[in-house]
Structure formats: C-alpha cells, structure tokens
Amino acid sequence: MSQTTATTSACCPECDAAIAFARRPLQGEVVRCIDCNAELEVTSLDPIRMELAPQVQEDWGE
C-alpha cells in the first residue's frame, strides 16, 4: 500500500510564485518565498492567503 503526501499551495502576493506546503499551514505562520525572498504571513486558511509579514520593530526594553 502506498501513501501519498498531499501538498497545499498558494501564490506569493509579491511575485506570484507558487509556494508549496508539505503540510497544512497554520494561521499566522510566517514563511519565506523562495523566488523573491519576501517574508509572508498566512492570513487565511480556506482558501490559503498570504500577505507580506509586518516588519518586527526592536523593543530595546522600552
């Protein structure tokens, strides 16, 4: 009996490249596009949508 692995994919909103997930992504997960190197945040799961991840600001203990 063979097991098949289903891949889930979505398009990068920056360069429109296909991004494949080996498993179902989690909402809020941050991934990197291998074509344009953009950091993307998963904002919706059904259908899978991604947006550019917000830039993290340094806190410096303030």
Average pLDDT over residues 2-12: 71
**Three-class DSSP labels, 3-54:** CCCCCEEEECCCCCCEEEECCCCCCCCEEECCCCCCEEEEEEECCEEEEECC
Higher pLDDT, 49 or 5: 49
Domains of the chain and CATH, by start: 8-52 (2.20.28.160)
- For residue 62, the model assigns a pLDDT of 60
Per-residue pLDDT reduced to its tens digit, 21-54: 999 999 999 999 999 999 999 999 989 999 999 8
pLDDT number for residue 40 = 96
* pLDDT above 70 for 6: no
pTM of the model: 0.75
Q: Give the mean model confidence (pLDDT) for residues 5-12.
A: 80
